[in-house]
Structure 1
């Protein structure tokens, strides 16, 4: 082979232990972009794939997003040799008479997103991006920023984008009407739930946008502005850190959950922002460890193209899992992880010895996102009910599966007309024709009783499913009560594990159980006295459906449900310890009594995520 996909990763071989290591990582990730700057330096076009917005906005995205890392790097004293390119690019991109003009905004627009990075960089580094501009270029830039802020921003984290532009205008001494700024700050407070948790807008989604957007921008604000909002942002971040640390495994992997995962190590952005804001939400050594271990987790992943440019995808290049707003420049929101470069070597973030994460020794209940975090020997598994996203592709897979894992990720389906070949990891799928299928998309009800999740959902109007998720580490138990007016085919999957070439894995399927054993991992599913018999199957999932590895195996149970009421129950396990299989596999937990589960559902509390007022029809 002439191409080592992991070796093309600019993080490969970097120990990522010190400030100098992080500086080198930033420049290593940026340098592959240099050949793609336009002649006038206002645009960076990385590939031919399209997002829903126009090409000039996509080119601005490629230009602006690296500033999330470059600006703190330079503010902390790092030498970056290409500020002249950025100054020229800003001058040309905001000049209506220049061929590389970024385009005039006429309403809600992707340019609003990217100008937040520019506002942040201008606030930190006016000597690099403002002082070199001619008087005419300064006038054009100010006019561009004032023009964009007159339009309404989306009802979610986007509201912070105008606030960051306003901070830049303040730093540059530009006069403007500040009343909309205060209005947006108040509206952002309307997304706050409690205990450090937000929603990203009034929708049933509480995902990585809470740490790498809502808290990230709030912490930046708290360093650059001193007011009551800044104080609240800091107080909320202190609370949030206690919960969010449980989204990370001992090896640095975070929980792949929700949309925009192509931003990759932006998931460390919250820990990075704590350093930038000088806020010790956890002991500094623990914050440092959470941040740097996460970066190290990416160092051996084939996440770039041959030239070292970050790909759209997660563990490897994968357009299938992307959102329609992902262009070639989108992954560079990952540079949010480099905020600690703004603070010096003497800062306690860098001066403190790195501390390992305290491993979970029991389940941790997070009522607001509707998660039960479960320890699994180096992995973290989240049982989930209460979230949804029906606006975006694969919203069901990204938000509504029963379980998500830091090690095994999750899979998206590649064909909605392939019931026989679906992956269905951590889902149950129903079909009335053995071709098309339905899975959980939304919940009519989602509740927590202790550490047991209950949900009621409708794959069709005439089919009701009640689901209980019960932790029993390293297993978890699922119980479904299905009431249907017609017979249905069903398939229920365990976790997806890597599949080797040459059929080297062990696949075992029987009545009532199935498991797969690979080079390092074991995944199994056992039926627990369901009212209909189920046959085991190990599905060789369609390629490029899992976020972390391109080829996977998923153990499944399949059956046909009769008209009326049926109970399906199973125990599911996945572990990175094939030597433990002989003792673990025969010892699956028993199914709870359905009457006891009904009683729990009656005593439970509603998951916060489901109470969002702005649910789409």
Structure 2
């Protein structure tokens, strides 16, 4: 039976809008809650012992060989910008410092063959994906996560990354995983494979279909992979290449413009109530759907009419809807299979517990300090909220880049 609600135009406002500081507390609490079980257990060499192993129907991978690296790589990539902030004496600062300390300890375990939590980079295809998220975390927070590692641990990560070269993956967004890992090696002065890098960049150019959308392979798929993977990894890779004079700066600029345009779609997709469409593959990745928007805001590249405060307010409502309750967590705090609740039937054949930690990618904007405009500006309505309440809205047009 349909619920009858008053139209948005006629709903009365209740109380004062939250401040940016209050919104930030919502984000920090949610990100810490999601990340803590993975980071804490890796630091204490109990990840493989304690992480649940849940899969959906018809799961098709070698679960114990891949799920732990999935959890670690994806969590790292999402929390990296936050951990890159300097220490301070606030409650948040203490949480951040402790999380960074635990992760650095855990990273040593992750590549120590003698550790119970030694992660598998050496077999199966899936580690190609999740090694790239580890590399992306190092790219996003080199001073916080890469430089503090001891010489032996760094050498072990480099060896693990290079070991991926004896395998290939799917002929789609997976090309970027290999490309970005090799790009990271280039960025730290290590020998890298230019063919894997150039092939990834060339194919993504070829698969661009217009108005900020890339086809994920030869055929277009309507899903969130432009945000989960394509825009952010391509921009990060081309930044490394252009900085090292291995690609024209114009290529990076073009990719960035396309991501900025795509971020407009993501912002407009958030409903007045703070929900968004659950369509396409991998919707169990939850807030990773907004990675491209979060990274665009983190880079301070939002379009002029998309104000930082409206993005903050829109994403805060999404985060509240997803993580304020307990529907997406089990009794021990691990994420459960589903979109907004325990819904294992919607999990893909490659989705397990570790896969779900892609959700952290929607929190990249926590890398902006608490005194940044994104967090300090007064609350502002986002596009769909303005549209559904009769306020002025900027027209949307196709853009060619």
Report the TM-score, using the length of structure 1 for normalisation: 0.52
For residues 198 and 166 of structure 2, what CA distance do their matches in structure 1 show?
14
Gaps of 5+ in 2: 1-17, 87-92, 243-248, 391-401
Residues 242-264 of structure 1 show CA distances to partners (whole Å, capped at 9, x for unaligned) of 43434221011011101211111
Aligned to 1:90: 107
Match of 2:28 among 15, 23, 28: 23
For residues 261 and 57 of structure 1, what CA distance do their matches in structure 2 show?
19
SS at the partner of 2:295?
helix
For residues 212 and 16 of structure 1, what CA distance do their matches in structure 2 show?
27
**Does the 8 Å contact 2:41/2:47 carry over to 1?**
no
> Which protein, 1 or 2, shows the higher relative CO under an 8 Å CA cutoff with sep ≥ 6?
2
**Higher share of residues assigned helix:** 2
For residues 267 and 146 of structure 2, what CA distance do their matches in structure 1 show?
38
Match of 1:122 among 109, 134, 138: 138
Match of 2:293 among 271, 277, 282: 271
Aligned to 2:277: 255
Q: Offset at 1:195?
A: 0.8
Q: Which moved more, 1:333-342 or 1:47-56?
A: 47-56
For residues 163 and 269 of structure 1, what CA distance do their matches in structure 2 show?
19
Gaps of 5+ in 1: 1-12, 363-374, 378-617
**Higher share of residues assigned strand:** 1
Aligned to 1:280: 302
Taking the TM superposition and a 5 Å limit, the aligned residue runs for 1:390-401 are none
Q: Offset at 1:34?
A: 5.6
SS at the partner of 1:331?
helix
For residues 385 and 117 of structure 2, what CA distance do their matches in structure 1 show?
52
SS at the partner of 2:209?
strand
Q: CA RMSD in A?
A: 3.2
Q: Offset at 1:295?
A: 1.3
- Misfit runs of 4+, over 6 Å: 13-16
For residues 360 and 131 of structure 1, what CA distance do their matches in structure 2 show?
43
Aligned to 1:388: none
Match of 1:318 among 340, 343, 351: 343
Aligned to 1:56: 65
Q: Offset at 1:106?
A: 4.8
SS at the partner of 1:355?
coil
Match of 1:349 among 370, 374, 381: 374
Taking the TM superposition and a 5 Å limit, the aligned residue runs for 1:68-107 are 68-77=77-86, 78=93, 79-96=96-113, 99-106=116-123
Q: Offset at 1:92?
A: 3.8
**Does the 8 Å contact 1:76/1:342 carry over to 2?**
yes
Q: Offset at 1:219?
A: 4.3
Aligned to 1:525: none
SS at the partner of 1:345?
coil
SS at the partner of 1:231?
helix
Q: Offset at 1:308?
A: 2.4
Q: Offset at 1:319?
A: 1.3
Report the TM-score, using the length of structure 2 for normalisation: 0.77
Matched, 1:304 2:321: no
Taking the TM superposition and a 5 Å limit, the aligned residue runs for 1:208-219 are 208-219=224-235
**Does the 8 Å contact 2:201/2:234 carry over to 1?**
no
Residues 355-393 of structure 1 show CA distances to partners (whole Å, capped at 9, x for unaligned) of 21233899xxxxxxxxxxxx899xxxxxxxxxxxxxxxx
Matched, 1:289 2:313: yes
Of structures 1 and 2, the larger Rg is shown by 1
Aligned to 1:358: 383
Residues 562-608 of structure 1 show CA distances to partners (whole Å, capped at 9, x for unaligned) of xxxxxxxxxxxxxxxxxxxxxxxxxxxxxxxxxxxxxxxxxxxxxxx
**Does the 8 Å contact 1:197/1:240 carry over to 2?**
yes
For residues 139 and 365 of structure 2, what CA distance do their matches in structure 1 show?
17
Q: 1:161 to 1:173 in 2, by over 3 A?
A: same
Aligned to 2:193: 177
**Does the 8 Å contact 1:41/1:85 carry over to 2?**
no
Q: Offset at 1:223?
A: 6.1
For residues 291 and 82 of structure 1, what CA distance do their matches in structure 2 show?
23
